[in-house]
């Protein structure tokens, strides 16, 4: 199947400040993609471009093989729950579901009713009287019951309690293979990404720093610890992501397609959190400058 999202040199500028820059990205179909990065990295901007709420300042983006937004038919194929989980304060939960049914040809009324009942929500309650977490659940219910091909969720679970969060993410994981759904979700919680996602995109300072299937990324990144050594002495096949030095010791996070066999290093695998934090580290931690005190060894 084709990619659900393809971006080439995509950028968005607000008043001479780039919120997203040089974004070239392919997101395969049928995956749950975790989009992570620090505050202000450009995650919401990328998601808003993907659903057609923003227009690119430069470059191109295609979603489900087409330009985002536009016709009702195209809009119907993409579900979107924004960061502030918008609902209509004066409308009841039942009104929201009726509206969803009227606006979406593939609306799954059974699924919507079942979710609302499982959450213990009274359908006659107005959205304005719900708690933040309950409003998020309502917005997520509408997003899922629309039965889109691609569901875009901007920090969907931030306001849910831990149990509700786990249940929602489990639901989502069940829905993906069952309905051929693809999901892109932004999150600050790496543990949720680890539990739910099979593909990762790390955005830092408005640029994509790394993207790929999580299993592949974990298989090709390691931590290497050894006596102090200049990272410039590493073979070309090993790319240093971060380097930290004490007087005697060097610790590197390295990307390598090949196994590291140099006995100088103690090599340990990374957790997903280690990997994300390594790519989120300030680039001055990628300390590859030659140091006079270091011996160059090959």
Ligand X SMILES: Nc1ncnc2c1ncn2[C@@H]1O[C@H](COP(=O)(O)OP(=O)(O)OP(=O)(O)O)[C@@H](O)[C@H]1O
Residues that bind ligand X (CB under 6 A): 14, 19, 37, 39-45
H-only helix segments in 146-213: 162-179, 190-196
Cβ at position 79, least distance to ligand X in Å = 18
Cβ at position 168, least distance to ligand X in Å = 19
Cβ at position 207, least distance to ligand X in Å = 11
Cβ at position 44, least distance to ligand X in Å = 3
Closer residue to ligand X (CB): 23 or 243: 23
Q: How far apart are CA 243 and CA 185, in angstroms?
A: 30
Closer residue to ligand X (CB): 39 or 246: 39
Closer residue to ligand X (CB): 45 or 196: 45
| Structural contact between residues 18 and 206, judged by C-beta atoms closer than 8 angstroms | yes
DSSP 74-99: HHHTEEEE-TT----TTSBHHHHHHH
Terminal CA-CA length for the chain: 45
Angle at which helices 109-118 and 132-145 cross, to 10°: 160
Q: Which residue has the closest beta carbon to ligand X? A: 19
Closer residue to ligand X (CB): 19 or 224: 19
List % helix, strand, coil for the chain (3-state, nearest 5): 35, 30, 35
Block residue for tokens 């955005």: 203
Block residue for tokens 């006995």: 263
Closer residue to ligand X (CB): 200 or 252: 200
Q: Which residues contact 84 (CB under 8 A, 6 or more apart)?
A: none
Cβ at position 182, least distance to ligand X in Å = 20
Block residue for tokens 């270091």: 294
Cβ at position 85, least distance to ligand X in Å = 13
Closer residue to ligand X (CB): 83 or 225: 83
């Amino acid at each position: 199947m084709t990619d659900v999202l393809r971006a080439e040199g995509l950028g968005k500028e607000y008043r001479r400040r780039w919120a997203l820059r040089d974004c070239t990205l392919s997101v395969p179909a049928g995956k749950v993609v975790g989009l992570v990065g620090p505050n202000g990295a450009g995650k919401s901007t990328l998601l808003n471009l993907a659903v057609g709420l923003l227009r690119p300042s430069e470059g191109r983006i295609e979603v489900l093989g087409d330009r985002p937004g536009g016709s009702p038919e195209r809009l119907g194929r993409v579900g979107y729950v924004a960061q502030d989980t918008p609902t209509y304060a004066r409308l009841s939960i039942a009104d929201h579901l009726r509206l969803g049914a009227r606006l979406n040809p593939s609306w799954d009324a059974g699924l919507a009713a079942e979710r609302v009942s499982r959450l213990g929500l009274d359908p006659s309650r107005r959205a304005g009287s719900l708690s933040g977490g309950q409003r998020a659940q309502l917005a997520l219910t509408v997003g899922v019951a629309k039965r889109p091909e691609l569901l875009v969720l901007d920090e969907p679970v931030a306001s849910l309690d831990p149990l509700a969060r786990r249940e929602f993410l489990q639901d989502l994981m069940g829905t993906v293979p069952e309905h051929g759904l693809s999901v892109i979700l932004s999150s600050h919680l790496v543990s949720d990404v680890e539990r739910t996602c099979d593909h990762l995109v790390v955005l830092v300072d408005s640029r994509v720093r790394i993207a790929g299937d999580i299993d592949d990324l974990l298989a090709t990144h390691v931590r290497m610890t050894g006596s102090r050594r200049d990272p410039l002495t590493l073979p070309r096949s090993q790319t240093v992501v971060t380097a930290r030095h004490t007087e005697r010791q060097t610790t590197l996070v390295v990307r390598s397609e090949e196994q590291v066999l140099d006995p100088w290093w103690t090599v340990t695998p990374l957790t997903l959190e280690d990997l994300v934090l390594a790519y989120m580290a300030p680039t001055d931690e990628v300390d590859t400058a030659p140091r006079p005190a270091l011996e160059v060894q090959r």
